[in-house]
A and B are shown apart, each in its own frame.
Chain A
């Protein structure tokens, strides 16, 4: 099995660098087929041309016709991650420390998954090495939006602005180097 950083889930959260780690099985792993799934191919012309029936507020009016349209769409095989785990770290965390954290996540959750154990309980045992700010996403968004638009925020002090900027830059840095964080077990 192996672990990758998933860029789409990486962000600044509660002032910290939040990274999403996706865990995958290799073809040779015993539980590989459980997440190797046959799914609709969103790149097919049929899918891209869209459902032609009547849709009101995102809901197809004739659900039978809609389901038939879905069933007729071309399919593809896809190796889904068997688990995604988020970690929150300081922007000063080094690359090597991040790699160690990813290895720890893979070892703890992967081992539990291998033996059909409780991966959620295992994930809950992964220790949090920092205390994040006690701020909900809505409030943090206000500050980050201000920083994005004006380069500063009147809602927090200058040090906090600097911290958020450093966290955002570290998120981008990790995403840019994501291949170097690939970890195997």
Chain B
């Protein structure tokens, strides 16, 4: 079992942005392996609402498509917020991204930068993003290289998932 890491780190950084209502993809530290993310960490400078955190694959320099995401909800400001018990697909080389309806995420004016686009682009097709160079967003996630389940879905639900659920 491999521990997967993605993102530059959720720390109290020197600055913050005012980019609520933007989808932002940090390009400082891509996923180290494939599997699923079960821990996500963020640090906001002001209380955030409607936060989604997920994984993106790059199809070209500025084209990104979300692979999977978690709806975290409100994220309090002023300390590192840690979310566990999650199950977000990730493939080696993916980048972490966030969206929030309100709130300012902590950032540093150094690093490889991030991609951004106005609007919530989670759950949508591939999009073209703009670049903010030399920035680092305060986000991080870790996970494991395979999933462990105890009970078959049919035992719980009594239904057979259809093809869209990939079973």
Contact = CB atoms under 8 A, between A and B. Distances in A.
Interface of A: 6-11, 13-15, 20, 34-35, 37-40, 42, 47, 51, 55, 57-60, 63, 66-67, 70, 78, 80-81, 83-88, 90, 92, 109, 119-120, 123-124, 126-139, 141-143, 155-157, 159-160, 162-163
B39 A120 contact: yes
A39 B165 contact: no
A42 B47 contact: yes
A88 B150 CA distance: 13
A38 B78 contact: yes
A158 to B, nearest CB: 9
Contacts of A137: 54, 66, 68-71, 88, 122-123
A90 B155 CA distance: 10
Interface of B: 15-22, 38-39, 45-47, 49-50, 54, 66-74, 76-79, 81-89, 102, 109, 116, 118, 122-124, 130, 132, 142, 144, 148-153, 156-162, 164-167
A124 B76 contact: no
Main secondary structure of the interface of A (DSSP, over half): mixed
A119 B152 contact: no
Contacts of A90: 156-157
Contact of A131 (B50, B109, B124, B150): B150
7 contacts: A9-B74, A20-B72, A20-B83, A37-B78, A57-B116, A58-B19, A130-B153
Given A131-B149, A138-B68, A123 B123 contact: no
Contacts of B142: 120
B74 A8 contact: yes
Contacts of A119: 82, 84
B139 to A, nearest CB: 15
